Structure 1
């Protein structure tokens, strides 16, 4: 291209896409804070730029009072040991103790002409007064944790550009008594706020109840018209496939245009998507907000968005602008659009709903999500890491639990990226909101059933949060509450008015285990159980057809325990009584961190001698437990079940239950057992009837595969079992052959190993599954006396931030069993976190090798990490990483 033609093209593009006039920036540093009891000045005085802030302390915004106190070393880390007991609880101190002023000085010149400047709060808990340069911005006190605030501050800005913002934040009211109940005494639910802060069975109380400016504060600059709350709906009719050419999709877009000026403003609202521009002329009357609908766009051969395991997560950038007079950009919004259509249908056989995506039914393999951090210390990087872990577990849905919040846009962005469908609960819980008689609750069921105090605030907050997250393709299901519906008037407003008007594209469930989602004809509450189970239970016992909560244990290994348990408390559980039903005793610190029992399921490996021994054996149980959970549900897809959601996959505090990785982002064997059991195309062993079974989650027939089944004894001797060509239909499970007689014969004395593989005709492994089976008494006697092996280990830097580790086991050796790989700091020998492993807790057969890829972010602090490998019968080794 000639220089002249390039310049001509550049000028043409500039004319087609005017440069945006607005700017946004975040006020996320330089804040100062002080308790209200130590502040004598009024809001108008404090917010004067010249008022001296002598004795004030650095404050964390976004953050809470507790995060500010922690940064200033006024409280100990509440996640370590029993430090949380050393922090005063607001129920006993009174609300003033955690009522704080937050002050921020910032530079912003007074706006010129008709330019506008806006101040946005994305979340304050719980109520606040806002002052700028001596003037109060909110005429009435703001209430509600889940209601955004926006103020036009154009007329309040100082002429010289030196401005001061002062915000006094009040805690929830009531704060609730943290008496050990779910949500404490329940009264925290009188607020439109977060419920877990008064304590739950997986967390201790958050002492300030998360009081503070907990989410982003931003300044936005526009011309006359503010473009806000765009809404993008994608219509994808018919039944689609991830591959091949696509029939057209339809894009429908609306937006709100706010004109705060004294004159009507004429212009054009337009957006670009997929190389096409859609425009609509509009006049916005003075001092009004107007919603405008743009002409529908037909998108030819669209690149569709699919959930994890079913297809790619294609996203289109969408730029939306309002042009004053059709020329000058007044405001601009930029979105990432996933072209897809969510649906659902009733499965008469299972008596539950099944999720449809682009016309195809999707078997739900999900995890319950609480919140990223109990003290609301959210980061885009942490969100990305946690959702990536869920992708790596081969899950396809995350349910955001109703005792927490509507998750942040950065969370949704990560879910869009990694293909996680979202079931988003609103802020109700059967525990606090009156589903059951509960002596720990202050008020009776009839009273609690009417919570919260302010129904209008709840409804307004729903409307606002729906607008905030409705454009994310990952969002699939709205849910009225956890295990209970909202009060009738709130439910009617949500179901009949708000969601149809503001969204209208997604399935609404009145509560998380409603019969309209999953008909409960088995008794009980329609979810659970929540403790460890025999692995045969997952395969042979029919439970709720779309279980919104079923889960188990999740203790990490010794290195994980050391992060938050004092040395004196790093003692293993003791088992008393018979192995069939032991009595387990644990250190009080473990109890404080909400440990739940492994019961008799760890003892077949031998009673733990140390905490390190317990941690290792717990990983064997963890792996087996979660692999079996998802395998059992998948084996009955569309027959017994349409999905299952694990309770739960992560903890926002240093809890010792229900987690695939710990609070510090260190994965345990739960993650890799679940990764195996959730594999989209998977070969597996049914422990009930010893059938080898295949499951195929894809939308296409899988054929031309060799099923290879081999058994190994404890010495590594191989017994070929079968080798047969197999195929399986789309979205189905298929039973192939029983191997019960062989398992009984080979495993009677010491137990055995069972290797199941699907291979293509070039012997490339498509699916690999490896089981360790007990002896005739249910003991792992062979593992207890298993001989050592010394695999050859190599580590190669394949690319920046990517390491390939190969374990090669000698031909005449026993199986190199259950090896944990870790990327470590060579100076401390501690793990680098987070690291993403293509697999872990791996076993290598005699004469074979296995390569694991480690993906991490390089750091100048650790320029030359090492790889640690340690297994059940493999001594710990440190490996230097070689170049490419």
Structure 2
């Protein structure tokens, strides 16, 4: 994400694709360039570079003499004209050799000169074109073959070999040897001499489709302690620590039959303990002086909860917490009694997540060790747990390379993204500090997930694998295959019966299990009940219900129940439209079905460094030879999105609109209660996909909630940014953690693919290991090494861009990261920053991620605000103006995608949607669940049925993300002056097919915009008159025109609110009416309690509402629990007279 790493990575890739240049003739003396040697598969890219002796941007003048010549070898029969090589830009006055079927030729932008020749694939032919400025002569094999008049135009001073994507020409496939150019007309004798020199068989050819490069440079983060004068300074005082009540419940809490969670823990710094684990884990050890620990949770969470340190979320409090927390180990300890029902059973102790390394002791005996934040530690404690009191002690160590903190300030700047901790992956590498999160003092060390005890009989179930496929095009049948790992814990064979039951279906299979691990497969071929008719499918948000099913899996030994599990799964099938390089060098646009490949036992794609190939518009994965011929790979209907990804669920193309989750919470407070409001808000914003960035959110609640709310997940592993971040040093450890994560979470329907690395491909040994794990342990999803560039768009931009540019310039194809500054609500900001540091912009702003430079470069945001709306004069004025920009930019990001859906765009994910802490950058909601204008701009642009206006050209469009066509809709467009005067009013009919965008008429705003700025209101109604969508734009001819918005008079808006019940929630119905004479823009509703504090979480159906004169609107607000006495709704806005109404 950093500008530096993008620049370094670009340099590396340019070096990897540089042309092979034999010793050139001195350009200044003879104006000769070359020779060049290159090989071009049909599916690869072309190559170009500035002419030697010329600078970038130099021009070859029109007219004048020139010559181009070289050896050409076509690799396959040619049926359409292709540009082979030449001087300049083929779309701006270039001079090129061509091949077309049985003819060689020369082309200078007009009618080509061509001559027939016997062209056979594999044969070398010498071709030249010589011009004296008035005519051009074509030579084939040294002999003149024809001439024609020529009038070459001026063109950039570059050599271009096999240029791609030129109108009227297909890609050249073959080799070019000894290609050269001169700024003079060669003589016939010189041509004959050149034609007599055959290509050297030892020539090394540069590829137009090189392999992906390995990492060649890296960054270490903060390498020396930060200079004191650059550290953040604030006027506000550091808060006093505030202790919270500690857990006071039972030590063991039952989670169902034969399962318990260890809830009561103590914690102490390891240097304070002189004894080893053999002593600390004895039941009689005295740990009463230890802290009552918060588990699951990190060390820092416990120390904040116990009042040792202040809340690091607030102001500069984090700077008062020492970095020493990440440079020492800690002891956790739990005392508990063995459940009576566990007597006589096999007992398993499972650590669901420990960061980073742990020694585990029970009753004086060492059980073992654990390493890596994402692997489960499982220990058989049969016979080791004693009747009565037991003691479990865990010595937890932080990552061994915690790095040094960079404290953001206006002086110090944003700093680097991460550093030394990247060596320690798998861990929370972001906790060293990123441009959206400060350094977490303990680096998330601790028992960050639950510790559970389970009991079973002599057979124990492992991680079952449930694979669902839809064999019929109409999705009327689902095939369910269940693989149940079963471990025979005895020393002899046993008869085991595995039973699977869901939705009223029940199948059983009896097998003989040898001692040790085994598995039982239940398939539709053996059990017809597992072919389910008319299944309830899992769909992403907006496309249908995310239906989930509970599979009850059990095993019995000799008729006696031994173990059971409940596995929740969704019936759905993922396929992918991709452009993949096949073994013959062609880029095939195909639909790939990995589930079918799994059934066939085939490995169909190659994501290795050698398998990733450069293509015309980026990079693409390859098909294996097996994949190229596989029925799991079929040609796609439409190649217009080449080479970009399209995700399909249940056969339906999904317009992927979503956002990145950097870290759910920077202190890993990730219980379901805390996380669920974030997921609900994402659903309410009409998003359907999120990304588990660098795997920092890998926990049960994250995937459970993604399943429930219909949010697809792009799932990363724990490696970041090639040619910038360090690479993991312990590959076996990384792969062991990855294997456990895949096995643990593969049944979640929300997971749509696996990324090996954020922005780059892992080192070869790791990349190939991950690809193999996904193939072997999952087999139903695509693994790709990089989160960008490979069949995806490059990352960014991240700073402010004009809204219209999201329609024309940015985030084409499938873009995984695109962002813009996104300041929170006034209330959320005030809740995070002490009053003395709120205005003017201070170090506290920078510490909370408002960086004038760097990726987000808020200077561009502030410059745009000043140019369009006037320089901010106070925090309140800044926030009011920021929300206007927030709304229009976030809406434009998704409307730009809508405008070219399925032609140039298939997915856009915001960087980012989820706040890790009280951040002022990028997110569309706040850490305390508040939602600012960016949220509602996103919600509007991502509507299921949506009416919009293209920002650059004012063309109207109907976006239908539904699966039913819209016929006979009416689209009304009104244009009003800022004074409320109606300037235009048009209604037109518009239809839209299912899952498509229909373009309508273009509004002519040239007249209205002569007054500077106008308001455009769009209303879409169905054929029966039912409202479908509305949208409102403030638009201006330029920045000066937009400043007229600041002169709008404040409008009176009446406000009323009434409360009622809606299930377990309170429903507040708010009615607004603009009683003024002009539009009222960006009306912000805030629900508060009797003390004036915001009620959060609260779910607003709409907000930042804009009303035309006389317009009335109803907005529903829901919040959990009973109605709050004395609650009221407050309203403010761009030009709204502030008002409040009691909730009746």
TM-score of the pair, normalised by structure 1: 0.88
Classify the secondary structure of the residue corresponding to 1:306.
coil
Q: Does 1:532 align with 2:800?
A: yes
Matches within 5 A, 1:266-305: 266-286=495-515, 288-296=516-524, 297-305=530-538
Once the two structures are overlaid, the 10-residue window that deviates more, 501-510 or 800-809, is: 800-809
SS in 1 for 2:467: strand
Distance change >3 Å, CA 790–CA 682, structure 1 → 2: same
Long gaps (5+) in structure 1: 1-19, 241-245, 442-447, 521-525, 573-585
Contact preservation (8 Å) 2:1053, 2:1075: no
1:564 has 2:832 as partner: yes
CA 1:289–1:22 in structure 2 vs 1: closer, same or farther (change >3 Å)? farther
Q: CA deviation at 1:178?
A: 3.0
User: Post-superposition shift, 1:128?
Assistant: 0.8
Question: Residue 413 of structure 1 corresponds to which residue in structure 2?
Answer: 704
Deviation at 1:339, TM superposition (A): 0.7
Shift of 1:735: 2.0
Q: Is the 8 A contact 1:23 1:222 kept in 2?
A: yes
Aligned counterpart in structure 2 of residue 618 of structure 1, from 855, 874, 882: 882
Give the drift of 1:23.
Answer: 2.0
- Structure 1's 392 and 646: CA in aligned 2 closer, same or farther, altered over 3 A? same
**Distance across 2 between alignment mates of 1:274 and 1:717:** 60
Output one character per residue of 1:706-728: Cα deviation in whole Å (capped at 9) or x when no partner: 11111222232334421112101
In structure 2, stretches of 5+ residues that fail to align are 1-254, 407-413, 525-529, 579-588, 590-638, 852-857
Cα distance change, pair 224–21 in 1 and its aligned pair in 2 (3 A): farther
For residues 1075 and 1007 of structure 2, the distance between their equivalents in structure 1, rounded to whole angstroms, comes to 24
CA distance in 1, matches of 2:693, 2:890: 20
2:1112 equivalent to 1:849: yes
- SS of the residue 2:863 aligns to: helix
Question: Hey, what's the Cα distance between the residues in 2 that align with 1:41 and 1:668?
Answer: 52
After superposition, give the CA deviation of every residue in 1:155-195 in whole Å (9 maximum; x if it has no partner): 11122x21111111011112223357544433442342121
Kindly indicate whether the alpha-carbon contact (under 8 Å) linking 1:409 and 1:468 is maintained by their aligned counterparts in 2.
no
Superposed, 1:394-405 pairs within 5 Å as: 394-402=686-694, 404-405=695-696
**2:905 match: secondary structure:** coil
Q: Deviations over 1:294-335 (max 9, x none)?
A: 132100111111111111111122111112334x33221112
**1:271-350 counterparts in 2 under 5 A?**
271-286=500-515, 288-296=516-524, 297-326=530-559, 328-346=560-578, 348-350=639-641
RMSD (Å) for aligned C-alpha atoms:
2.1
Find the counterpart in structure 1 of residue 376 from structure 2.
148
Structure 1, 107-116 or 794-803: larger mean CA deviation: 107-116
Report the Cα offset of residue 381 of structure 1.
Answer: 2.0
Higher strand share: 2
Please show how residues 206-245 of structure 1 align to structure 2 within 5 Å: 206-240=440-474
- Equivalent of 1:470, from 746, 760, 777? 746
Task: Indicate conservation of the 8 Å contact 2:901/2:996, yes or no.
Answer: yes
Q: Is the 8 A contact 1:555 1:618 kept in 2?
A: yes
1113, 1131, 1141: which one aligns with 1:869: 1131
Q: In the alignment, which residue of structure 1 is the partner of 2:262?
A: 27
- Mean Cα displacement is larger for which, 781-790 or 616-625? 781-790
The 1:771–1:568 alpha-carbon spacing in structure 2 relative to 1, beyond 3 Å, is same
CA distance in 1, matches of 2:428, 2:730: 15
8 Å contact from structure 1 (residues 106, 164) kept in 2: yes
Task: Tell me which of 383, 386, 392 is aligned to 1:158.
Answer: 386
Give CA-to-partner distance per residue, 1:483-538, whole Å, 9 cap, x none.
1222212221221x3111211101111111142x22x6xxxxx2111111001111
Q: Which moved more, 1:420-429 or 1:42-51?
A: 42-51
Deviations 1:362-410 (A, max 9, x none): 12112111121111111202222111111112111111111x4352121
Offset at residue 817 of structure 1 (A): 2.2
Q: CA deviation at 1:127?
A: 0.7
Pick aligned residue for 1:130 from 352, 355, 360 = 360
SS in 2 for 1:197: helix
Among 817, 827, 843, the residue aligned to 1:588: 843
SS at match of 1:856: strand
Q: In the alignment, what sits opposite 1:504?
A: 779
Q: Say whether the 8 Å CA contact 2:813–2:904 is kept in structure 1.
A: yes
Partner-residue secondary structure (3-state), 1:737:
strand
| Equivalent-residue separation in structure 1 for 2:304 and 2:373 (angstroms) | 22
Q: 1:473 to 1:46 in 2, by over 3 A?
A: same
Which residue pairs with 2:239 in the alignment? none
Partners of 2:1049 and 2:415 in 1: how far apart?
49
2:1020 aligns to what? Answer: 758
SS of the residue aligned with 1:412? helix
The offset of 1:691, in angstroms, is: 1.0
Show CA shifts across 1:50-87 (max 9, x none).
12124212111111111111112222222211122221
Cα separation, 2, equivalents of 1:375 and 1:692: 45
Offset, 1:601 = 2.1
Contact 1:111 1:117 in 2 (8 A): no
d(CA) in 2 for partners of 1:686, 1:112: 66
Note closer, same or farther for the CA distance 1:94–1:494 as it changes in structure 2 (3 Å cut): closer
Compare 812-821 and 660-669 and name the one that shifted more.
812-821
Map 1:319-398 to 2 at 5 A. 319-326=552-559, 328-346=560-578, 348-351=639-642, 352-398=644-690
Question: What is aligned with 1:69?
Answer: 303
1:9: which partner in 2?
none
2:431 alignment partner in structure 1: 197
1:175 is aligned to 402
Distance across 2 between alignment mates of 1:825 and 1:777: 40
SS in 1 for 2:296: coil
Aligned length: 807
Instruction: Decide which moves more: 808-817 or 829-838.
Output: 808-817
Structure 1 position 774, deviation (Å): 2.7
Question: Contact 1:306/1:313 (CA < 8 Å) preserved in 2?
Answer: yes
Secondary structure, in 3 states, of the residue corresponding to 2:786? coil
Cα distance between partner residues in 2 of 1:840 and 1:94: 42
Q: What is the distance in 1 between the residues matched to 2:1041 and 2:981?
A: 20
1:481 counterpart residue number:
757
Specify the alignment match of 1:793 in structure 2. 1055
Instruction: Tell whether the 8 Å contact from 2:258 to 2:341 is kept in structure 1 after alignment.
Output: no
Q: Which residue of 1 aligns with 2:1080?
A: 816
Q: Equivalent residue of 1:789, what SS?
A: coil
Preserved contact between residue 125 and residue 169 of structure 1 (Cα < 8 Å): yes
**What secondary structure sits across from 1:331 in the alignment?**
strand
Q: Summarize the Cα distance change of 1:259–1:201 in structure 2 as closer, same or farther, 3 Å threshold.
A: same
Deviation at 1:872, TM superposition (A): 2.5
Distance 1:692 1:821 in 2: 29
Preserved contact between residue 258 and residue 342 of structure 2 (Cα < 8 Å): no
**Deviations along 1:243-291, whole A, 9 cap, x unmatched?**
xxx52110000111123234443231111122110111123333x1212
Separation (CA, whole Å) in 1 of partners of 2:657 and 2:755: 18
